Structure 1
Amino acid sequence: MTQALRDGGVRVTRQREALLRVLTEAADHPDAAELHRRAQGIDDTVSLATVYRTLSVLEREGVVQRHSFESGGARFEVADRSHHDHIVDVDTGAIIEFHNDRIEELQRQIAAEMGYEIVHHRMELYCRKK
């Protein structure tokens, strides 16, 4: 991620290093405000503007993925994780990652039957616990 910032023409400051640490350690899908709060726990000089600028560069460089779940604003995750889909709990807002080979194969079959090859896809299931 440090190199992606440099490639994007952004200096790697102490504040940005704190944000990068938060991003790499995140096991969830935090929004910019939550990333800001966590980064300030490492370096209290991190500004929200720095978070937004850094996320923008990281997204443009393909290092971070932005998700726009129906439950609210943009959420972020590091893009180096293996492919997965998401369940959004509509009651709690929790976002759960999952992977299912049968679903992946079915999607490939459907695309092929229609004369296509999947280049990229995202699946989000909005669910409620029984």
Structure 2
Amino acid sequence: MSKLSPEETEKLKNNLKEKGYKFTPQRRAIIDIIIKNEGSHLTTEELYDLVKKDCPEIGLATVYRTVQLLEELGVICKLELNDGCSRYELIHEEENHQHHHLICTNCGSVIEVQHDLLDDLEHEIEEKYNFKITNHSLKFYGICSKCKNET
């Protein structure tokens, strides 16, 4: 399981403190579960079920509030994958943009595309429309290799 480095933990603590919040054991447990399940695109309810195993006293409302706070702080971002649920993933400081996703319309699996292939297009759009792009999100819908091979 990857963990927050001491520097990242300190930065998160300071960020919370600046906004009047504490780095509570519950918040740490939620962040640890998000990190441990990176790439799983968990919903708040799924996150709650996993955190509750290590932290049985935690309430669903605490998880919802913490997820909202972590999103406001830029630690996680919300993904809408057209399945009716809000899902969340960790934001890495080295990423310029959210990474892209391949979504299977048959089984619902989500594959992360790690390389940002839109740099040239983004630059062209900025030039043509005099518009400074700060982020983008891209989703491709189709059939994954597993489902393709089953047909």
- State the TM-score, normalized to the length of structure 2: 0.74
Q: Amino acid of the residue matched to residue 71 of structure 1? A: D
Aligned residue pair count: 130
Report what 2:48 is aligned to.
36
Unaligned runs of 5+ in 1: none
Unaligned runs of 5+ in 2: 1-11
Q: Amino acid of the residue matched to residue 70 of structure 1? A: N
* 1:17 counterpart (15, 21, 28): 28
- Offset of 1:76 from its aligned partner? 0.5
Report what 2:75 is aligned to.
63
SS at match of 1:71: coil
Report what 2:5 is aligned to.
none
* Residues 11/116 of structure 1: CA separation in 2 closer, same or farther (3 Å cut): closer
Q: Which runs of 4+ in 1 moved over 4 A?
A: none
Identity %: 28
Structure 1 stretch 53-62 or stretch 8-17: which is displaced more? Answer: 8-17
Report what 1:118 is aligned to.
133
* Residues 66/49 of structure 1: CA separation in 2 closer, same or farther (3 Å cut): same
Which structure has the higher relative contact order (CA within 8 Å, separation 6+)? 1
CA contact (8 A) 2:100 2:116 kept: no
Q: Amino acid of the residue matched to residue 79 of structure 1? A: I
* Residues 3/73 of structure 1: CA separation in 2 closer, same or farther (3 Å cut): farther
- Offset of 1:50 from its aligned partner? 0.7
Q: Distance in 2 between matches of 1:4 and 1:72?
A: 31
Deviations 1:25-58 (A, max 9, x none): 2222100011011111211112111100001111
